[in-house]
């Protein structure tokens, strides 16, 4: 009954302004299936890079107790889950993405007891915890690899990808490493080459070998049994490589890795079956979740990995690469809309620990107006929003000189590539010498703008970006239409104006975003103009809805969000 009423309302108000490829039938499915709140679908997920979040014991490195001390801050911000970048024992060649023990906590981050306490304290505040699982490769210091490289006969030999070279001086094939150079390293003691998609200290696991697969699936169970709510799967679609180790075709590029089409070293069809096996394990528990880091594949591929029997989500990174224009942002929002949304749930990511921050990409100097527009977009789209620590206060990338770099990519390629340190500088809690992050000089330099750009200052300023994020999260939380309603574009122009509706059976939310610096007016049809709107959010102190003669005026870089009951 409810479903029919919903479609009826849509038709009555003429609310299908233009086709997004969704049939009325798809809309019915959406309402029918999505009646209950689900944390990973309707909530907001916040990524923590533990090394740089909060240091509780004064060694310059963030830790679990540091995170614990900030849970109230996160609860006040309104996030529903935190994703922790890796906290397992690691020699830190790639800062945790080189794991030396999947069943432990690195002492620099705390103990297993600290982890359990963090889990309990987060849960007590209604915050779920997502672990980062790095299962494509281990550290070369992992006992498995130490065994594996010790002799060709060692029982762990086949846990990694060992091959004979084409000849003693030439690797088995042309595959490269993401971090530069060849993807193969010769090991003189056993006379074979091993494959590493990332640093040589990150040898790839051999997922085709049954004991490896079993062990990996155990790791899921181990953390699920501890009560962890979900996983972010690091470069999951690279687990399998071509079984015949064929050369990748070449294309134009500067470094070896970028000069190849990644046909044989990545994204192999075998992954689909594994994704289904992983989902079966997750579904043995209640409300557990996995999001895959789709690497070297576009959003179309990301979609294929998701669904009721596959992963809950796979990252769509298109917003990370969007330029500053209404059209470009709207384009990123539209792909998932053409799909059966009951089976595939989108996610939206504007920042993470691998890319320049959105504040540095979009912000003009230290001004935050554009960041409010971007935040409003991210948090009113259909799909789970991911935030990255510091995004909510508009942290900018730090500029470092060569001796200050820590990321292996930056260290190898500076100044050609600066690496990823820029977005990893310590969280800016206050204006003190080490930004309230630590009492000593941190592992990575604090951004000089922390003296004024910090949480403490922004909490005191009702106009701050932080307050704006808090407001948006609160508004999203209180609106089912924003969480899971349909996305209906009204209009957008190439540069400046983007406007769309989010609707469910009971409410309609209108989002109007001015990407430009000059005033614009949004023209509304009579059905929209004559509604009884309530002002939810304005970034420019708008005091009333302000629709006049079917026009909604917007000042430069203004966010305006209105709501009405259907
Ligand atoms: C992912 C991580 C990145 C890491 C790489 C290797 O892309 O996000 O930080 O360097 O995988 O594990
Ligand atoms: Ca510490």
Lowest pLDDT segment from 6-15, 409-418, 516-525, 557-566: 6-15
User: How far is C-alpha 500 from the chain's CA centre?
Assistant: 23
Q: What pLDDT score was predicted for residue 172?
A: 98
pLDDT band per the 50, 70, 90 thresholds, residue 270: very high
The dihedral region occupied by 181, where left means phi > 0, alpha psi between -120 and 50, and beta the remainder, is left
Whether 11 has a pLDDT exceeding 60, the answer reads no
Q: Which atom of ligand 1 is nearest to the CA of 137?
A: 12
List, in order, residues 6 or more apart from 170 with CB less than 8 Å away.
none
For residue 107, give the ligand nearest its CA: 2
Distance 456 CA to ligand 2 centre (A): 21
Contact criterion met (CB below 8 Å) for 502 and 487? yes
Whether 547 has a pLDDT exceeding 90, the answer reads yes
Q: How far apart are the C-alpha atoms of 305 and 322, rounded to whole Å?
A: 23
Beta bridge mates, 487: 502
Higher pLDDT, 449 or 416: 449
Residue nearest to atom 9 of ligand 1 (CA): 354
The one catalytic residue in 63, 98, 234, 505 is 234
Residue nearest to atom 4 of ligand 1 (CA): 97
Q: How far apart are the C-alpha atoms of 227 and 288, rounded to whole Å?
A: 9
Q: Which atom of ligand 1 is nearest to the CA of 197?
A: 6
Averaged pLDDT score across all residues of the chain: 92
Whether 341 has a pLDDT exceeding 80, the answer reads no
Tokens 């595959």 correspond to 175
Which of 367, 232, 351, 218 is closest to 290 using CA atoms? 232
Strands of 184-187's sheet in order across: 162-163, 192-195, 184-187
pLDDT band per the 50, 70, 90 thresholds, residue 5: very low
Which of 177, 187, 93 is closest to 148 using CA atoms? 187
Q: Which residues line ligand 1 (CB under 6 A)?
A: 94, 97, 134, 198, 234-235, 293, 295, 353-354
Contact criterion met (CB below 8 Å) for 460 and 484? no
List, in order, residues 6 or more apart from 401 with CB less than 8 Å away.
none
List, in order, residues 6 or more apart from 62 with CB less than 8 Å away.
49, 50, 51, 52, 53, 54, 55, 109, 426, 427, 437, 438
Q: What pLDDT score was predicted for residue 340?
A: 63
Q: What pLDDT score was predicted for residue 1?
A: 30
Q: What pLDDT score was predicted for residue 21?
A: 33
Q: Tell me, yes or no, if 234 is annotated catalytic.
A: yes
Helices marked H in 283-368 — which ranges?
299-304, 326-334, 358-362
Higher pLDDT, 301 or 118: 118
pLDDT band per the 50, 70, 90 thresholds, residue 12: very low
Distance 58 CA to ligand 2 centre (A): 6
Contact criterion met (CB below 8 Å) for 259 and 253? yes
Whether 236 has a pLDDT exceeding 80, the answer reads yes
Over residues 436-460, the pLDDT tens digits come to 999 999 999 999 999 999 999 999 9
For residue 69, give the ligand nearest its CA: 2
Whether 4 has a pLDDT exceeding 50, the answer reads no
Q: Tell me, yes or no, if 507 is annotated catalytic.
A: no
CA–CA distances in Å: residue 73 to residues 40, 50, 54: 20, 15, 12
Between helix 465-477 and helix 369-380 the angle, nearest 10°, is 20
Q: What pLDDT score was predicted for residue 9?
A: 33
Percent of the chain clearing pLDDT 70 (strictly above): 93
For residue 294, give the ligand nearest its CA: 1
pLDDT band per the 50, 70, 90 thresholds, residue 33: very low
Average pLDDT for 400-409: 96
Secondary structure class of 183 (helix, strand, coil): coil
Lowest pLDDT segment from 173-177, 219-223, 344-348, 432-436: 344-348
Q: What is the pTM of this model?
A: 0.94
Average pLDDT for 540-551: 93
Average pLDDT for 153-173: 96
Tokens 């340190």 correspond to 421
């Amino acid at each position: 009954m409810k479903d029919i009423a919903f479609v009826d309302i849509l038709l009555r108000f003429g609310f299908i302004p233009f086709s997004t490829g969704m049939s009325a039938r798809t809309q019915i499915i959406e309402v029918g299936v999505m009646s209950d709140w689900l944390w990973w679908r309707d909530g907001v997920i916040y990524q923590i890079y533990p090394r740089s979040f909060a240091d509780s014991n004064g060694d310059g490195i963030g830790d679990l107790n540091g995170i614990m001390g900030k849970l109230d801050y996160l609860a006040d911000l309104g996030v529903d889950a935190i994703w922790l970048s890796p906290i397992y024992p690691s020699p830190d060649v790639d800062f945790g993405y080189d794991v030396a023990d999947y069943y432990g906590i690195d002492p620099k981050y705390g103990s297993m007891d600290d982890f359990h306490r963090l889990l309990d304290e987060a849960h007590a505040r209604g915050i779920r915890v997502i672990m980062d699982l790095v299962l494509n490769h281990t550290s070369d210091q992992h006992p498995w690899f130490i065994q594996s490289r010790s002799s060709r006969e060692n029982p762990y030999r086949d846990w990694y990808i060992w091959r004979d070279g084409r000849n003693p001086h030439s690797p088995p094939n042309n595959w490269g490493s993401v971090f530069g150079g060849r993807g193969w390293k010769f090991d003189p003691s056993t006379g074979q080459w091993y494959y590493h998609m990332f640093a040589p200290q990150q040898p790839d696991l051999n997922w085709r070998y049954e004991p490896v697969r079993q062990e990996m699936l155990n790791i899921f169970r181990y953390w699920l049994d501890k009560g962890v709510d979900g996983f972010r799967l690091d470069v999951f679609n690279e687990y399998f490589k071509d079984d015949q180790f064929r050369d990748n075709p070449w294309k134009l590029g500067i470094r070896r890795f970028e000069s190849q089409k990644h046909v044989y070293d990545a994204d192999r069809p075998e992954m689909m079956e594994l994704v289904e096996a992983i989902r079966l394990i997750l579904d043995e528990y209640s409300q557990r979740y996995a999001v895959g880091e789709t690497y070297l594949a576009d959003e179309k591929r990301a979609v294929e990995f998701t669904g009721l029997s596959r992963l809950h989500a796979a990252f769509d990174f298109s917003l990370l690469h969007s330029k500053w224009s209404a059209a470009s942002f709207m384009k990123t929002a539209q792909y998932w809309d053409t799909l059966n949304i009951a089976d595939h749930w989108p996610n939206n990511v504007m920042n993470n620990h691998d890319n320049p921050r959105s504040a540095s990409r979009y912000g003009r100097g230290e001004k935050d107006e554009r960041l409010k527009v971007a935040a409003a977009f991210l948090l009113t789209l259909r799909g789970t929003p991911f935030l990255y620590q510091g995004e909510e206060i508009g942290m900018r990338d730090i500029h470092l000189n060569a001796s200050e770099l820590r990321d292996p990519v930056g260290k190898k390629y500076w100044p050609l590539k600066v690496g990823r340190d820029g977005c990893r500088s310590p969280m800016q809690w206050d204006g003190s010498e080490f930004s309230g992050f630590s009492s000593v000089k941190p592992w990575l330099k604090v951004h000089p703008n922390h003296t004024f750009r910090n949480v403490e200052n922004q909490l005191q300023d009702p106009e701050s970006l932080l307050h704006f994020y808090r407001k948006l999260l609160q508004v999203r939380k209180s609106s089912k239409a924003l969480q899971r309603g349909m996305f209906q574009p009204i209009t957008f122009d190439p540069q400046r104006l983007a406007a769309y509706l989010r609707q469910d059976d009971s409410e309609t939310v209108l989002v109007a975003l001015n990407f430009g610096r000059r005033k614009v007016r949004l023209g509304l049809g009579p059905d929209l103009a004559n509604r009884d709107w309530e002002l939810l959010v304005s970034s420019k102190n708008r005091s009333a809805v302000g629709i006049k003669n079917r026009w909604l005026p917007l000042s430069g870089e203004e966010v305006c969000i209105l709501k009405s009951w259907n």
